[in-house]
Amino acid sequence: MSDSTRDVASEWAREDLSALQARGLRRGLEPLDSAQGPVVTMGGETLVNFSSNDYLGLAASAAVRAAAIAAVERYGVGTGASRLVVGDTLAHHRLEARLAAFERAEAVLLFNSGYAANTGILPALVGPGDAVFSDALNHASLVDGCRLSRAKVVVYPHADVEVLGSALASTPARRKLVVTDTVFSMDGDVAPLRGIVEGCEAHGAALMVDEAHATGVLGARGAGLCEELGLESRVALRMGTLSKALGGQGAYVATSRVVADLLTSRARPFIFSTALPAALCAAAEVAVDAVEKDVELRERLWRNIRRFAEGLRGLGLRAEARSAVFPVILGEPERALDAARRLREAGVLVKAIRPPTVPEGTSRLRFCLSAGHTLGHVDLALEALRHVGVHDRGTSW
């Protein structure tokens, strides 16, 4: 008798899992038993959380919760269809208008996640015969968007404007699109955006940026690196997420009306996926208000960022206060896993980040600061790091 299809698949999985295990790359889940925030409970322990992208502590804030609850009462939970069918609500349109004002953009289009936005936008704009130029440390969703587009993909060395410029000059293509994170998600450094914009302008290329870790963190109004540098109107597509500093779920792109119209007709994750729940739209609207008006939130985040950067330098580690993300690069996966385990014993929750999320040999602890952390929390993490005695292996580029 032949094997059941279940046995066949299980055998594949056993084979691949043991290979991952041998390299320290097997992953597992560990649920929280609390709301997201600076302090969480996990496995019966209370831990200070340094692995969340909830940079402003809005995920569980009273105003955001209340907005979501009110929208659930009005619209229910599921949207029942994609936006182009019958899943579109006034809450989606209100949020798009609010985000367009926040981003000072002609148009904003929502996506269900940052992953959906990036894998949808790139293939909608470029295809065979075109070229997309992508930073070597761009987020996986941009990498996958590049692959799905079937355009020629030119990966330029991290943050290297010179190489990007020569690649733009020497690559023949119908359309040229440059794509970069603004704050790099695993390193916390910032793209040389002015140089990238100038390179694009010199070579007739369009530019798309991913502001996932910059929205709510950078810029006087919290609108990201483009705002900080006054480059909003020179960047064709500015993608941001609702899932990090905005404390919810979903994503958006700020762009021109005509590009938003094209994406509405062509971006596959937009067309073929059920609309974002209205409650998440209503929650995000309140979160954007908080980002713009509650300046103290961002001040507290930056107070924590500065304290942590200084403390890391005091421990002999390299650190720049440029975003809420701080890598401590340890090398092999086991070293990062071991350091995470020991920090956890000291009450500090920081997850080990391993390949393929980061390049081979650069497994790390990735600390994320939040406005919700007290200085006491920040000092606890520093003290735990001192105790564990980690030695940073430098940056990953």
Q: Reduced to 3 DSSP states, what percent helix, strand and coil does the chain have, rounded to the nearest 5?
A: 45, 15, 40
Nearest to 371 by CA among 303, 325, 310, 320: 303
By beta-carbon proximity to ligand PMP, the closer residue of 49 and 118 is 118
By beta-carbon proximity to ligand PMP, the closer residue of 186 and 197 is 186
Contact indicator for 25, 271 with CB cutoff of 8 Å: no
Q: Where does this chain bind ligand PMP (CB under 6 A)?
A: 113-115, 118, 139, 141, 181, 185, 210, 212-213, 241, 243, 251
- In the residue annotation, 213 being an active-site residue is answered as yes
Give the CA angle between residues 353, 111, 215 to the nearest 5°. 60
Residue 74 DSSP SS3 = helix
Position closest to ligand PMP via CB: 114
Q: Cβ 249 to ligand PMP, closest distance in Å? A: 7
Q: Cβ 243 to ligand PMP, closest distance in Å? A: 4
How many CA atoms, within 13 angstroms, populate the side-chain half-sphere of residue 247? Answer: 32
Q: Cβ 139 to ligand PMP, closest distance in Å? A: 4
By beta-carbon proximity to ligand PMP, the closer residue of 191 and 381 is 191
Nearest to 318 by CA among 228, 393, 235: 393
**How do 206-210 and 176-181 pair as beta strands?**
parallel
Q: Which two tokens stand for residue 360?
A: 């081979």
By beta-carbon proximity to ligand PMP, the closer residue of 126 and 251 is 251
Q: Cβ 116 to ligand PMP, closest distance in Å? A: 7
- Quickly tell me which residue has 């302090």 as its tokens: 39
Q: Cβ 149 to ligand PMP, closest distance in Å? A: 16
Nearest to 92 by CA among 71, 119, 121: 71
By beta-carbon proximity to ligand PMP, the closer residue of 79 and 243 is 243
Nearest to 267 by CA among 138, 128, 110: 110
- Residue ranges of E strands in the chain: 39-42, 45-49, 107-111, 131-135, 152-156, 176-181, 206-210, 237-241, 251-255, 325-331, 348-349, 352-353, 363-368
- In the residue annotation, 244 being an active-site residue is answered as yes
Choose the catalytic residue: 185, 323, 363, 396.
Answer: 185
- In the residue annotation, 185 being an active-site residue is answered as yes
- Cα Rg, the chain, nearest whole Å: 21
Q: Cβ 118 to ligand PMP, closest distance in Å? A: 6
Choose the catalytic residue: 92, 139, 244, 351.
Answer: 244
Q: Which two tokens stand for residue 24?
A: 């320290």
By beta-carbon proximity to ligand PMP, the closer residue of 102 and 184 is 184
CA dist., res. 194 & res. 180, Å (int)? 12
Q: Cβ 321 to ligand PMP, closest distance in Å? A: 19
Q: Cβ 22 to ligand PMP, closest distance in Å? A: 27
By beta-carbon proximity to ligand PMP, the closer residue of 55 and 102 is 55
CA dist., res. 251 & res. 253, Å (int)? 7
Choose the catalytic residue: 92, 176, 213, 377.
Answer: 213
Contact indicator for 132, 151 with CB cutoff of 8 Å: yes
**How do 348-349 and 45-49 pair as beta strands?**
parallel
By beta-carbon proximity to ligand PMP, the closer residue of 79 and 113 is 113
Which residues are tagged catalytic?
Answer: 185, 213, 244
